[in-house]
Structures are given as structure tokens and as C-alpha cells.
A and B are shown apart, each in its own frame.
Chain A
Amino acid sequence: MDDKQFDQMLSAALQEANRQDYSEFDTIDDEIPWSANYRRERMRMRANPQRWYRGKTAPVWKRVGRMAALFALVITLSFAALLTLSPEVRANFSSWTLRVFDTNVQYDFLGDETDKLPWFELHEIPEGYEEFIREEHPDSVLHAYESNDAQVFSLQYFKMASGSALSIAIAGAENEPVTVDGWDGHFYSPVNPDASAVLVWMDLDHNLQFVIDGFFDKETLIYYAENIVEKNN
């Protein structure tokens, strides 16, 4: 055996040692309580691994740091301006807070726990899309639709309750405050053309945060958002 052969054997042996170290997990088959954020990323990865990969490896330029700081400033100013104009916005604002980081935004919730999660669906599905995932969990629901060319469009909603938070990976995305049916929200438009846009809004009547994610412009996402209907499930 020469040096090269030994190094090849060493590489295989190092990997085999790892496999043996963790062989105890081979017999465990319990369900894992994935976070909402992970489930969303997993769905996108499985639907189109190459597109997901490109989105994850897009360069994060240094200016993102300055952009993140700008987002925080803009959001603060927006709310400050709105607070002076409308006492109703103050009520909106007190149920959740938004924190902006370099690679993600996080919504922290302050409301009371709601009872059973209501059932919402899209009244209208984008043309060419078919539902391929429908998941219901105690604190969230996910509907995902896939087009013929493997683009994914999703509707998710989450209970807002004290101690819970929702983090959305939006590295490089531009942010814009919007309203959906009168509720405060944000539209995130990605800089990377391979990434989808995200619309987020907080429905304080139902104490739910909604997230719509798809390859559409702001007006289209708001259109679908304002056509969500509540149904008996």
C-alpha cells in the first residue's frame, strides 16, 4: 500500500468511524417537531433543489450590513409616523415587534394564546399551479402549490402568542411596509432573481400572522392575500 492508497483508506475509515459513532440513531424513528421556518425551507428545497441551492449561495455583499441598518431605520420611522396619525396602528404595533438582521427578519409575538386554529384557504390559486402540500399543525398551517416549471407558491399562517417568533431568511431583500385588508404587513422583494418574494401581514382579529411566498410582484401577492377565505375544516 502506498501513501495515496493509505490516504484513501484513511478518508474512508474516518467516515466509517462517524457512521459507527452515530449508529444509535438508526433505530429511532420518532417524528421531529420541525420549526415553521425549517418546514418552509425544506418544502422549497425539495420542490427545486437547484433553485434553492442558488438562492442559498448568492453572495451577500458587504453593503447588506448597511441595508439591514437602513431597514431598521425605515421601519422605525414608518411606525413612528403612523403612530402619530392613527391610534389603531398603535394597537396593531403592540402585538408584535420586528427585528431586522443582516440575513433575516424576526417577528416576535406578544399576544395571548388563541384557541383552535381557524382554517384559511386561498379563494383563488394562481393559474398553472396545483396543491402538493397541505399540512396542519397545532400552531400553524401550510398550503403549498407547484407550477409546471417547479415554481412554488405557498400560504402559511401561524398563531401569534407570547414567547413565539417567526424568522424569515431574506438576505439582500428590499423591504416595504404594506397593508392587507387594513392590517399592517411587509413586502420583501428579493435582489436575487432566483428567490421568491414574500408578503407578511398580521391579522389581529384572529391573532394570526400570514406569510405568502411566490414568484409574483407585490400587487399580485396582495391580490391573493386579500382573497383568502376562512372555512370550516
Chain B
Amino acid sequence: MMYLSVLETKDEKRRFQLLHDTYERKLYRVAYNILQEQALAEEALQESWRKIICNFEKIISISGDKTERYLVSIVKNTSLTILRKEKHADPLPEEWELPPSNQGAENEFARLVAVIRSMPAQYRELLELKFVFEWTNKELAQHFGMKESTVASRIARGRAQLIEKLKEEGYVYG
């Protein structure tokens, strides 16, 4: 069993309680929005807090919107994992249609966020587990019930499409 070396001092515990006070309700609402049942949402929230405690050193090194982004992503993917266990999840689509060109974004990051928000949910889940939570292709294959080679090709294709989209709209890459 991994030994957790953080959250030992009073200051660290106080910081954790502050984090908990600040985000608990919102994170519950994210979980409930996905799972639509209080018991499952509370289960997702507890599991998420367990992951947050495990990653506490990382979380306290970031701040503001970046903290919220990360916490929301943890709860969202924990909830999706529970949902996947509770009922049959839709299969991962092979392709997805890129949104039409839009030069209105202030920078490439904002444009990338906008394109990601147009992706199918299952594709986003795949990329989040890979690039945010650094799952291996083997873990992803087990999670989605697919072959490792299929997972690897879907990730590579999704990533390549995003890069191509940014280039096509004039954002710098390479």
C-alpha cells in the first residue's frame, strides 16, 4: 500500500479543508449531472476526493482556474467510469466531424478548447484519460473494451486532427 506523505501538518490539513469547502458543492453537481442519482454521485465524489488527496502535492502547486479545471476533470472522469460500470456505454466513434473554421478565438489555446468542446463525449474521455491522467494504452484498452492497437490509432488520429485543425486556421505548430 502506497504511503501518503502529505497532509500531515496542520497547515496542509487546513489547505485541504479550504479546498474542500470551496469546491465540494460544484464537484457534486458535476457528478450528479452525469450520474443522475444521489447515491452514485456521492460515491463518485468520495472516490474523487480520494484521488485529490493522492494528488494533493500537485494540486497545491497550481491555483485559480487551473485548480478548478483539474478537479472538475477528476470528478467528471470518475463519474464516467462509474456510469460505464452501471450501464453499457456507447462505443467509441471511429471518426468525428471537425467543426467549421472560426477565426474568432483570441489564441490557439482558446481555439483548441472550442474544438475539443465540439468532440463526441467518448472521444474526449479517451483523450482526457490519456493526456490529463496519463493512463497507458493497455489501461485504456481495458477501460473501453478495445484492443490496444485500436486505442493507439484512435488517440493518434484524434491528436492529428486537432493539430491539422489548428494549422488550417492559421495557428502556429511545428
Interface on A for B, CB 8 Å cutoff?
Answer: 1-2, 6-7, 9-22, 25-26, 28-29, 32-35, 37-38, 41, 45-46, 48-50, 52-54, 56-59
The B interface, classified by DSSP as helix, strand, loop or mixed, is helix
| Further pairs besides A22-B33, A28-B25, A41-B46: 15, Cβ < 8 Å | A7-B159, A9-B108, A12-B69, A14-B131, A15-B66, A17-B116, A18-B76, A25-B29, A28-B29, A38-B46, A46-B16, A49-B7, A50-B6, A52-B53, A53-B54
Q: Is B127 an interface residue (CB 8 A)?
A: yes
Q: B102-140: contact bitstring with A at CB < 8 Å (1 yes, 0 no)?
A: 000000110011001100000010011001100000000
Q: Are B4 and A46 in contact (CB under 8 A)?
A: no
Task: Say which residue of B17, B25, B38 sits within 8 Å of A35 (CB atoms).
Answer: B38
Contacts of A34 in B (CB 8 A): 42
Q: Are B127 and A53 in contact (CB under 8 A)?
A: no
Q: Are A1 and B30 in contact (CB under 8 A)?
A: no
CA–CA, A15 and B108, complex, Å: 15
Contacts of A57 in B (CB 8 A): 1-2, 50
Instruction: From known contacts A1-B174, A18-B72, A29-B25, infer whether A13 and B116 are also in contact, taking CB-CB under 8 Å.
Output: yes
Q: Is B82 an interface residue (CB 8 A)?
A: no
Contacts of B127 in A (CB 8 A): 10, 14
Q: Which residue of A lies closest to B30 (CB)?
A: A22
Instruction: From known contacts A35-B39, A49-B16, A54-B4, infer whether A17 and B53 are also in contact, taking CB-CB under 8 Å.
Output: no
Task: Say which residue of A14, A19, A46, A48 sits within 8 Å of B132 (CB atoms).
Answer: A14
CA–CA, A35 and B42, complex, Å: 8
Q: Is B147 an interface residue (CB 8 A)?
A: no
